[in-house]
């Protein structure tokens, strides 16, 4: 696991937990050219967020139950 990225992963999951985000918006905000900053990929691999949709323009990213548990375990606010 990439525990050094946990604070950034927490930020991403918390941002998505506020409201589902359009996939293009998320990738634009969280894309990086650094192969060592795999925040988006790690959040997906850990099952904290998921994509829903068939067409790219209609695809949204949602937080999962595991993502909400990750936030709570790290003292982050979760939406009600």
Domain boundaries, the chain: 3-73
- Whole-angstrom CA distances from 13 to 24, 34, 35, 37, 55 are 16, 20, 20, 15, 22
The predicted-structure confidence for 14-63, as pLDDT tens digits, reads as follows 999 999 999 999 888 887 777 777 888 899 999 999 999 888 888 999 99
In CATH, 3-73 is 1.10.10.10: yes
Residue 1 confidence (pLDDT): 42
pTM of the prediction? 0.84
């Amino acid at each position: 696991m990439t525990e050094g990225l946990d604070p950034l992963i927490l930020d991403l999951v918390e941002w998505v937990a506020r409201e589902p985000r359009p996939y293009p918006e998320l990738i634009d905000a969280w894309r990086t050219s650094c192969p060592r900053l795999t925040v988006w990929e790690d959040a997906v691999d850990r099952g904290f967020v998921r994509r829903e949709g068939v067409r790219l323009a209609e695809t949204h990213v949602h937080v999962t139950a595991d993502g909400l548990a990750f936030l709570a375990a790290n003292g982050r606010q979760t939406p009600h």
